[in-house]
Structure 1
Amino acid sequence: MTFTAIRRLPAQYREMSNKEKISRIVEAKREFGSDLFIPGHHYQREDVIQFADVTGDSLQLAQVCETRTSPYIVFCGVHFMAETADILTDTEQRVMLPDLNAGCSMADMANISQTERAWETLTDQFGDTILPLTYVNSTAAIKAFCGERGGACVTSSNSGKMVRWALAQKQRLLFLPDQHLGRNTAADLGIPLHDMAVWNPITHELELADGARVEDIQVILWKGHCSVHEKFTVGQIEELRQTEPETNVLVHPECTYEVVQAADYAGSTHHIIERLHTAAPGTSWAIGTEMNLVKRLAAQHTDKRVFSLNSNMCPCLTMNRIDLEHLAWTLDLLREDVYQFEISVPEDIADSARIALRRMLENA
């Protein structure tokens, strides 16, 4: 991946009024017209998401980016999403991320050297019986790794389909980098917990449940997680059951297995949005996902009570780095033909990653 040299946000943007920043963004969108496309992830802050041409989860945005012809894409999301957009668009299209610090701690939990080392050990132990799958919350290099070995990407929307697909081809799968999504998906398909193991990239060891047999392992889970979704606990649900037993608990499958089992419902970001859309007026919902989205859903569904399962939850810190200042700065520079923080995945990596992504999109 290549990008322009890192530059610090000029002080003038911090000193600008919101009115002026908004005016600059509106003017840039008017000037570029259809030549500019701004996709925005559901977890984006409210003042930024208002400028998104399309709002969606990882799967929806990947599908949309593949079909867009706009020469300039300014991605309001995090780093791996901008990489995905660059992989799926034509080479002449330019993808920019308003702030390079908008990363993903989960994606950082699996780097390519760790993954290659793990693969060597695991294939020595299990032979040619493993297919790799990676959550889209991963680097382009990890996506390419999976594409080169017959594997694919998954999202929380289609993880069930993709795990079935993988196990129809090989006896086992390696699921990167989120152990919780992998565990919850496999369990939902009827795979026992003792037939899953966790690969620890730090100790370089396979961690088995008590009494589990190595030869029975079907799913190898990378020891990674989402720092936002791990903050939801069974204790929070138990307390809510005592104080507000009529409230429905709806969580994302990046939460731990125990939280998902204790909740009333679990599903992808798209699933959460749709379930609240169809929920009966007057019902109460505690949501276990990112706070920007929860607040937006509460504002959209005033006929229902919608709140965070964790009353102390804050928004995703890295997603929140995309703000009005950085968006206005990026668009101002673009008007001067400066492609600030351009995300460009090297073609050799992009080619293999594209295979993994298209296998995912074919099963969407």
Structure 2
Amino acid sequence: MHLEPCNPPRPRPQSAAQPGAGPSREKPVSVSTAIQLISRGEAGFPAPATTCTPDLARDPWVFDALPLPDYGPGASMHDPVPPTTPRQGELPEEFRTASADDLDRRILAAKETLGESVVVLGHFYQRDEVVKYADFVGDSYQLARAATERSAAEAIVFCGVHFMAETADMLSTPEQAVILPNLAAGCSMADMADIDSVTECWDQLTALFGSEPDADGRRPVIPVTYMNSSAALKGFCGEHGGIVCTSSNAAAVLEWAFERGQRVLFFPDQHLGRNTAKAMGVPLERMPLWNPRKAWGGTDEQTLRDSRVILWHGFCSVHKRFTVAQIEKARAEHPGVRVLVHPECPMPVVDAADEAGSTDYIRKAIDAAAPGSTFAVGTEINMVNRLAAQYPQHTIFCLDPVLCPCSTMYRIHPGYLAWVLEGLVEGRVPNRITVPESVAGPARVALNRMLAVRP
């Protein structure tokens, strides 16, 4: 398992290239810095310079104070928010008004005081201004594994989103506290499949197919949930003979499920399920889409009986932004460009790309490439921008020219990290994420099945 070292290169000021604007040999500024420069109309900032909403320039605690839950500005800003979405309380004023230099000093001082009693984990999609304090940087699977490998740490500060912190809590020891700096850092895709809707779907499928295995011992349906889902859904899979998958082992997990079941119920991301099953030879007509807001999921009994993979109507709003037109433009303007996209992208985008793979796959492909290679990447802009900074021997740019980061990752800001770390220094444990054992027990079953499946 590879985990990125902490402290990625510090960004240069506004003379550097704009993230998402196209290829450049210069080191990019951070996404957060670019957003602020664009919002101020900074003279000399390279064009085109656009964001998906001017609200990205506002501080995340502005959105914590809204009367109803809100994912915040960015890719998920138009997604419906469940009323049960966790809310973040008001961040104390001293952290809201502190300068970047003051927050830097306070975070470093707190980390030094806490020493090895605290480990900070940072997701690839997190803003640079937070990632630079992480002890480990990786994808959700890698960071969950990292949490299991730091048993000496009394607290795990997870700079990611809610489902990641839940997974870390379930895989860490009971004595360790897992902390999410901003409770509003959720995931709109994970929220698209809730336990009530999945249970209702399961009951309807059980009524249609029964529960008895066939002559080969295969059950009618095996539930498979993507890592990007709630602990409750991981627990559901554990209780019903199912398994968790990641974007890197989805094909191996589907093979595991097909050996045990006649068909698979795959949630919450339809695109990862469709792209993976299609690459394995499953015909599209045998992959119906289940929409929980429609009777029988918007399909019919015969289609379900003929199915091989039943896909949930969920998606990642970050990866839904990438299009075939963007790929065609990249190829026209940069002959020989290598297009890498995440398998959460829609099928036409994956089909048009040169390769599709997990965030770690993308990173490894770029790392192994000959110097002077050109990459157009279809994944979250913070990661693409960081890759461009870490691999200056290549030309790396985001397929989407508009800066539109993951809304919920962007809810974590150095102010929250400073507040959490200073709280730990004072003996307080703010924003602890705890999964009840009634859920965690069966969820670990599904997670351990996942860990036993090798890509």
Judge conservation of contact 1:144–1:351 (CA < 8 Å) in 2.
yes
**How many Å separate the matches in 2 of 1:117 and 1:52?**
40
Equivalent position to 1:107, from 190, 199, 211: 190
Per the normalisation by structure 1, the TM-score is: 0.95
**How far 1:294 sits from its partner (Å)?**
0.3
Question: Which residue does the alignment assign to 2:200?
Answer: 117
**How far 1:47 sits from its partner (Å)?**
1.1
- 1:146 has 2:237 as partner: yes
- 1:85 has 2:141 as partner: no
Judge conservation of contact 1:99–1:341 (CA < 8 Å) in 2.
yes
> RMSD between aligned alpha carbons?
1.6
**How many Å separate the matches in 1 of 2:260 and 2:403?**
40
- TM-superposition CA deviations, 1:278-323 (whole Å, max 9, x none): 1111121110000000000001111111000010142111101111
Question: Structure 2 matches for 1:254-333, cutoff 5 A?
Answer: 254-333=344-423
Question: Which residue does the alignment assign to 1:191?
Answer: 282
- TM-superposition CA deviations, 1:106-139 (whole Å, max 9, x none): 0000111101001001121222300001001101
Equivalenced residues, count: 359
Equivalent position to 1:164, from 251, 255, 259: 255
1:83 maps to amino acid: E
Q: Secondary structure in 1 aligned to 2:130?
A: helix
**How far 1:324 sits from its partner (Å)?**
0.5
**How far 1:195 sits from its partner (Å)?**
1.1
Question: Which residue does the alignment assign to 1:179?
Answer: 270
Judge conservation of contact 1:118–1:204 (CA < 8 Å) in 2.
no
1:353 maps to amino acid: A
- 1:12 has 2:94 as partner: yes
- TM-superposition CA deviations, 1:43-76 (whole Å, max 9, x none): 1110111111111111211212122211111101
Question: Which residue does the alignment assign to 1:350?
Answer: 440
**How far 1:204 sits from its partner (Å)?**
3.8
Q: Secondary structure in 1 aligned to 2:327?
A: helix
2:352 maps to amino acid: A
User: Kindly tell me: are residues 83 and 143 of structure 1, through their superposed partners in 2, closer, same or farther at Cα, counting changes over 3 Å?
Assistant: same
Equivalent position to 1:251, from 341, 357, 376: 341
- Structure with greater proportional strand content: 1
Judge conservation of contact 2:288–2:303 (CA < 8 Å) in 1.
no
Question: Which residue does the alignment assign to 1:31?
Answer: 113
**How many Å separate the matches in 2 of 1:305 and 1:94?**
41
Question: Which residue does the alignment assign to 2:66?
Answer: none
Question: Which residue does the alignment assign to 1:239?
Answer: 329
**How many Å separate the matches in 2 of 1:281 and 1:116?**
51
Judge conservation of contact 1:232–1:309 (CA < 8 Å) in 2.
yes
User: Kindly tell me: are residues 311 and 34 of structure 1, through their superposed partners in 2, closer, same or farther at Cα, counting changes over 3 Å?
Assistant: same
**How many Å separate the matches in 2 of 1:283 and 1:37?**
35
Q: Secondary structure in 1 aligned to 2:89?
A: coil
**How many Å separate the matches in 1 of 2:177 and 2:304?**
47
Equivalent position to 2:154, from 65, 71, 74: 71
Farther-moved stretch of structure 1 (4-13 vs 231-240): 4-13
Per the normalisation by structure 2, the TM-score is: 0.77
**How many Å separate the matches in 1 of 2:443 and 2:409?**
23
- TM-superposition CA deviations, 1:67-104 (whole Å, max 9, x none): 22111111010000000010111111111100001110
Q: Secondary structure in 2 aligned to 1:74?
A: strand
- TM-superposition CA deviations, 1:169-211 (whole Å, max 9, x none): 00101001000000011111111111111110111434559xx
- 1:49 has 2:131 as partner: yes
Q: Extract unaligned runs of 5+ from structure 1.
A: none
**How many Å separate the matches in 2 of 1:348 and 1:92?**
17
**How many Å separate the matches in 2 of 1:31 and 1:204?**
57
Question: Identity across aligned pairs (percent)?
Answer: 50
Q: Extract unaligned runs of 5+ from structure 2.
A: 1-85, 212-219
**How many Å separate the matches in 2 of 1:68 and 1:127?**
44
